[in-house]
Amino acid sequence: MMGSRQTAQGALFYKFSIEDHVPADHLVRKLDRFLDLSEIRSFLAPFYSHRGRPSIDPELMIRMLLLGYCFGIRSERRLCEEVHLNLAYRWFL
């Protein structure tokens, strides 16, 4: 037999916004404010092949390398781990 509901249905769900978890004074927000990579895809398009596996987004690569330089992460493997764990890095990417 099913018992009666003890709590409101809304208590089972929660709202999460990554914007709320990255501080306003964090370095990645300052970088993002001045970084404009909107034209990088069109600039690099002739260098990418249309055959084979899809390539990594050039804007994502440049942003990841910039994170590595700014935060002293020298290993690409370590950079991938940091991006996996750090919400601010994910917000920036």
Per residue in 39-75, pLDDT (tens digit) is 998 898 888 888 888 888 899 999 999 999 999 999 9
The beta strand positions in 5-74, using DSSP E, are none
8 — pLDDT class (breaks 50, 70, 90): low
pLDDT value of residue 3: 47
State how far the Cα of 4 lies from the Cα of 92, in Å rounded to an integer: 45
- Measure the CA–CA gap between 39 and 90, rounded to whole angstroms: 21
* Domain spans in the chain, listed from the N-terminal domain onward: 21-92
Q: What single-letter DSSP state applies at residue 39? A: T
Q: Which pTM was predicted?
A: 0.76
If we measure between CA atoms, which residue out of 65, 62, 64, 55 comes closest to residue 40? 62
CB 48 within 8 A of CB 55: yes
How far apart CA 17 and CA 22 sit, in angstroms, is: 10
